[in-house]
Amino acid sequence: MFAYLEGEVAAVDERSAVIDIGGVGYRVLITWPTVQALREAEGQVRVHTHLVVREDAFTLYGFLDPRDLEVFRVLIGVNKIGPALALKILSEVPVDELVRAVQAENEAVLTRVPGIGAKSAKRLILELRDRLTGLGAGGVQTPIGGPDAATDATAALIALGFTPREAGDAVEAVGAEAPEADLQGLIRGALARLRRG
């Protein structure tokens, strides 16, 4: 829904920043390196974002480097890795080091992240090995569809004025009929369903 935010840095704390865009402040959860970078920033900044929609909250996660955003999306596609842990991983391990660690099956790099033990590191490496292969070619290959695409599609429909239930039901129905659908396909299909009533 929000590809990026571009504006002035209004405030930065230990885990988030407020980006002022035309007098509206958007709070974005960020990694520790991003905290440090934004504290030094002057003038306009561009933060690439991912929106996570929950029943009780809409949360934006932000990254200065679009590669970090793509790896974040890959991480949250892994079983038992939620946005908070994915952000913690990227706070502790830069993307290039993470990719090298996964390719070399270096569990020690991942176990330095609080909350990740040897067993979890081994599982993460197994699940990430194929998903991060595109990074060396200048981008990350993220799976088509998936929970993040469904979440973003639902959020986009809510922003267009549909209720969370209408949007969620429509996206779920399209996903069941066309599991290979990407974000745009989910939105188009869901809109068509909603307009038909």
Distance between alpha carbon 56 and the CA centroid of its chain, in Å?
18
Contact 157, 190 (CB under 8 A): yes
- What is the reported pLDDT for 85? 95
Sketch the domain layout of the chain as residue ranges: 4-63, 66-137, 146-196
- What is the reported pLDDT for 72? 95
Q: Rounded to 5 degrees, what angle do the CA atoms 179, 140, 149 make?
A: 30
Q: By C-alpha distance, which of 124, 121, 142, 120 is closest to 133?
A: 142
- What is the reported pLDDT for 117? 93
- What is the reported pLDDT for 134? 63
- In sign, the C-alpha dihedral spanning 134, 135, 137, 140 is positive
CATH of domain 146-196: 1.10.8.10
Contact 109, 117 (CB under 8 A): no
- SS3 (DSSP) at 45: strand
- What is the reported pLDDT for 139? 40
Is 4-63's fold the same as 146-196's? no
Tell me the CATH number of domain 66-137, given options 1.10.150.20, 3.40.50.170, 2.60.40.420, 3.90.1170.40.
Answer: 1.10.150.20
Least confident of 26-40, 53-67, 117-131, 158-172: 158-172
Q: 10-23 pLDDT, tens per residue?
A: 999 999 999 999 99
- Residue the block writes with tokens 């230990």: 14
- What is the reported pLDDT for 34? 93
Q: 95-152 pLDDT, tens per residue?
A: 989 999 999 999 999 999 998 999 999 999 999 988 886 664 344 333 334 455 777 7
Q: Which pTM value belongs to this model?
A: 0.68
Contact 94, 61 (CB under 8 A): no
Q: Which two tokens stand for residue 150?
A: 């469904």
Beta strand 24-29 with 57-63: parallel, antiparallel or unpaired? parallel
Q: What is the mean pLDDT of residues 167-183?
A: 84
CATH of domain 4-63: 2.40.50.140
Q: Which two tokens stand for residue 57?
A: 């909250």
